[in-house]
Amino acid sequence: ASIAEATMTGEGVRRRDFINIAAVSFAGVGGLAALYPLISQMAPSADVLAESSTEIDISAIAPGQAIKAVWRKQPVFIRNLTPEEISAAEKVDVSTLRDPETLEKRTTAGKTNWLITMGVCTHLGCVPLGAGEGEVKGEFGGYFCPCHGSVYDTAARIRKGPAPKNLEVPPHEFSSDTVVKIG
């Protein structure tokens, strides 16, 4: 019998199935083991989730700067957009975006310069760079995730790389012109 015929025998098929199943299970176990620290970090305990809100003084954040705050043990980026960054974000044809959202929808009316998002990449949860690391803002002027190269624009919308969604906007409101309450 030829090699092709031999692999079509029942034994050949069973062996191949076994190898496939073994490969899938190994990937499954390896994948879960690799993800566990991430999942445990991304799923805060009930106590932490019960933490209602946090107030952040934003008076020292100059236009063009972003800081990293913490809410529910997760990073939150608070960014003061320059007029140029606002117009760059508004010029984008939203229908071409992977996760189409306007800057207006992602910010508070009358305060479109304040962009507040979770600092958690929507791919696998790394913390993107660009908030408090000098000028690392990626090619679209927003944030860059060093884990697998996702690039977010000045409205923290996903523009390149594997992340499926924009950086999430957490619930927030302005207590005054200089204080924002997250949560």
Please report, as ranges, the residues that interact with ligand FES according to CB under 6 A. 121, 123-126, 145, 147-150, 161-163
> What is the C-alpha to C-alpha distance for residues 48 and 34, in angstroms, rounded to an integer?
24
Q: Give the tokens for residue 123.
A: 């791919």
- Closest CB 159 distance from ligand FES, rounded Å: 12
Catalogue the long-range contacts made by 56-63 (C-beta closer than 8 Å, 24 or more residues apart): 56/179, 56/180, 56/181, 56/182, 57/178, 57/179, 58/114, 58/178, 58/179, 58/180, 59/178, 63/113
> What is the C-alpha to C-alpha distance for residues 99 and 91, in angstroms, rounded to an integer?
16
Please identify, using beta-carbon distances, which residue of 58 and 127 lies nearer to ligand FES.
127
Please identify, using beta-carbon distances, which residue of 145 and 169 lies nearer to ligand FES.
145
Please identify, using beta-carbon distances, which residue of 6 and 32 lies nearer to ligand FES.
32
> What is the C-alpha to C-alpha distance for residues 77 and 132, in angstroms, rounded to an integer?
9
Which residue is catalytic, options 12, 148, 149, 165?
A: 148
Please identify, using beta-carbon distances, which residue of 86 and 119 lies nearer to ligand FES.
119
Q: How many CB atoms lie within 10 A of CB 79?
A: 26
- Closest CB 92 distance from ligand FES, rounded Å: 20
- Closest CB 41 distance from ligand FES, rounded Å: 12
CA angle 152, 164, 132 (to 5 degrees): 30
Q: Which of 178, 151, 180, 181 is nearest to 166 (CA)?
A: 151
Respond yes or no: is residue 172 known to be catalytic. Answer: no
Cite the active site residues. 148
